[in-house]
Each structure stands twice: as structure tokens, then as C-alpha cells.
Amino acid sequence: MTEKVRPRKQFAQHWLKSEKALNEIIQASQLQSTDCVLEIGPGTGILTRRLLPLVQSLLAVEIDRDLCERLTKEFGRKENFLLVQGDFLELDLPSLLAPFPAFQNQNKVVANIPYNITGPILEKLLGTIANPNLEPYDSIVLLVQKEVAQRLAAKPGSKAFGALSVRVQYLAECELIYTVPAGAFYPPPKVDSAVVRLVPRQFEPPATDTRQLETLVKLGFGEKRKMLRNNLQSLVERDRLSQLLEKLEINPQARAEQLSVSQWVALANELGDM
Ligand code: SAH
């Protein structure tokens, strides 16, 4: 049925058609009847249809006008549904929602998002290390590119562990729940996908200087396969860094991907004390 709606490339439209994947997304969201959910990119409404009966309210944000018309036809009469047409990245939701108090405070996000803007969406949902979202969601369940999911959930020391892993894991606990093959979509994207669950958290112990941590992570992962101490040359003198690494019991020859998030924080905190 959804195959009748012609997908638009410019909006990264790929309609999910796998029941199994839908079930995994719903299950991972652990929905309760009191939940107020945000869905980004409802598309033809395949996930929306599942979500609506389970939640107190559902706010959906869709950029495509034609799809919005369809969605309004199908769900517009439901009291717990509100659709906003526009670009999720650009919209100022708090002011748009001022007249709709029931839809102001979403506590969960559940979405099969457009993959071309995954990074910016994550940043809008979580904030950044130095500027975190101060009203964090209870949980964020997303369908993303598998490779991104692997980076989000990567453990230190693994190949997938990169700057994105540190940035996002500092702000949220990340788990890869379920891999979804490209064939589960129409049209199939070029890559496989995966369901991830992010649970925002306050990292303990926190970075004392969050800008310092951001700079450190950016530079530290700057050139792949280089030792950390080489990547950080512009920030801290080599001998000083060796001393710090020794103090923190980190191998002085370590590469960026070998440090845990706690070690990045510890290193940033030590540098801040210099
Ligand atoms: N959830 C649907 C559609 C996923 S495709 C499904 O699972 O089948 C991604 C959806 O995001 C499309 O409907 C697309 O139109 C929408 N979209 C793309 N860019 C967007 C943006 N910037 N803001 C809001 N929605 C967007």
C-alpha cells in the first residue's frame, strides 16, 4: 500500500515495510500510555499508525507537503495527534507549540529518520558536549544507517569507535538493538540500517571544561591511525602529554580510538588544570 506513494530522493524517503523492524522499534521504545512522543519524518505513516494507539500524544514533523495532506486525512481527527509541516532542523518547535499545551513536552522520540541529516538530528535532540539539551528525552529510538549505529554504540578499542562515539556517548547511553536489511525498505537504500536506542544521561564524573573536551576530541581523532600524542601536538607539549597519559594510566602510544569516554573526560580535566 505504501509503495503507491512515490518516494522523493531529495527528502531521503525510504518507506519501511518490514513488520519485524516495526515491532523492534516499538519494543525498544518501551512505550507507556502516559508517553508524549515526537516522530520525525512520519512519511506515509507506517510507524505513526503503530504509535498512536499506544501513547498519550504524538507530535509528528514532516517536511513533505503532499505527505502531510495524506497524514492529515488519515490521522487528523485523532485527538492525540498533531502534525507540523516543515524542516525539523529549522523549526522552532517551542514557539510553534505554544497554542498546543498537550503537545509541548515530548518525553520520547521514536522515528525512522532521513539518513542524510542524521548528524544534525542527533545534535538537535541531544545538544552538544558544551551545550547539552537541558530538557533531555527519556529515550530516543531511531532507525539509522547501520554504520552510524555501529559508531554510536561502539566500544573503545574497536574500529568503529570515533569522535562521534565519544560526543554522543558523553550525552547518552547508546545501544544497537537490531539490524535491518536494506530490503526492508521501498526503495531499498544503498546500505543496511539498524535500530538504536539512546538514553540521555549526565556523564559521571563530568568534564569540568566542556569546551576543552570538545577541542580535545576533535584534535585527538584528527588524523586516523596517528598516535594520540601526535594529533594533540598543537594543544599540548609532547612531554607534558606523556606525563599526563602516564598519570592516567593510558599507554603513551595509544591511538584516539583506544581511550574510553571516561579517559577522554579525565584527560580534558587534567589539561584544564594546567
Ligand atoms: N517514517 C517513514 C518514512 C521514513 S523516510 C517510514 O518509516 O516509512 C524519511 C522521512 O523523513 C520522509 O517522510 C521525509 O519526507 C521526511 N523528512 C526528510 N527531511 C526532513 C526534515 N528535514 N524534516 C522533517 N521531515 C523530513
pTM of the model: 0.96
Q: Which three cell numbers stand for residue 23?
A: 515491532
To test the pocket of ligand 1, the residue of 113, 115, 144, 145 to mutate (highest count of ligand atoms within 8 Å of its CB) is 113
Going by pLDDT thresholds of 50, 70 and 90, the confidence category of residue 272 is: confident
Whether cis (ω within 30° of 0) applies to the bond prior to 187 is yes
Domain boundary among 200, 231, 263: 200
Which atom of ligand 1 is the closest one to the Cα of 113?
A: 9
CB distance 45 to ligand 1 below 6 Å: no
Q: Domain check: are 127 and 221 in the same one?
A: no
3-state class (DSSP) for residue 7: coil
CB distance 71 to ligand 1 below 6 Å: no
CB distance 83 to ligand 1 below 6 Å: no
In a domain, 205, yes or no: no
Give the tens place of pLDDT for each residue, 25-65.
Answer: 999 999 999 999 999 999 999 999 999 999 999 999 999 99
What pLDDT shows up at residue 2?
Answer: 52
In a domain, 190, yes or no: yes
Q: How many residues does the chain have?
A: 274
Q: Domain check: are 47 and 114 in the same one?
A: yes
Give the tens place of pLDDT for each residue, 125-166.
Answer: 999 999 999 999 999 999 999 999 999 999 999 999 999 999
User: What is the pairing mode between strands 193-200 and 172-180?
Assistant: antiparallel
- Helix (H) or strand (E) run with residue 108 in it: strand 108-112
CATH of the domain at 125: 3.40.50.150
What pLDDT shows up at residue 273?
Answer: 63
Question: Which protein residue's CA is at the shortest distance from atom 18 of ligand 1?
Answer: 11
Helices assigned H by DSSP within 37-128: 46-51, 65-75, 93-96, 118-126
Q: Domain check: are 187 and 222 in the same one?
A: no
Give the tens place of pLDDT for each residue, 71-129.
Answer: 999 999 999 999 999 999 999 999 999 999 999 999 999 999 999 999 999 999 999 99
Q: Domain check: are 18 and 63 in the same one?
A: yes
Distance in Å, CA 241 to ligand 1 centroid: 45
What pLDDT shows up at residue 274?
Answer: 55
What pLDDT shows up at residue 225?
Answer: 81
To test the pocket of ligand 1, the residue of 64, 89, 121 to mutate (highest count of ligand atoms within 8 Å of its CB) is 64
DSSP character at residue 206: P
Domain boundary among 200, 219, 237: 200
Whether the pLDDT of residue 224 is over 90: the answer is no
What pLDDT shows up at residue 171?
Answer: 98
* Chain centre to alpha carbon of residue 168: 7
Q: Domain check: are 133 and 217 in the same one?
A: no
* Chain centre to alpha carbon of residue 210: 19
- Cα separation, 159 vs 148, in Å, equals 13
Number of domains present in the structure of the chain: 2
Range of the domain at 189: 2-200
- Cα separation, 169 vs 90, in Å, equals 25
Distance in Å, CA 240 to ligand 1 centroid: 49
CB distance 118 to ligand 1 below 6 Å: no
Q: Is 164 in contact with 131 (CB distance < 8 Å)? A: no
In a domain, 108, yes or no: yes
- Sequence-distant (≥ 6) Cβ neighbours of residue 129 within 8 angstroms: 167, 170, 171, 207, 210, 213, 214, 217
Instruction: Give the mean pLDDT of the chain.
Output: 96
Q: Phi, psi at residue 42, to the nearest 5°? A: -65, -20
Question: Which protein residue's CA is at the shortest distance from atom 2 of ligand 1?
Answer: 43
Give the tens place of pLDDT for each residue, 197-218.
Answer: 999 999 999 999 999 999 999 9
What pLDDT shows up at residue 223?
Answer: 86
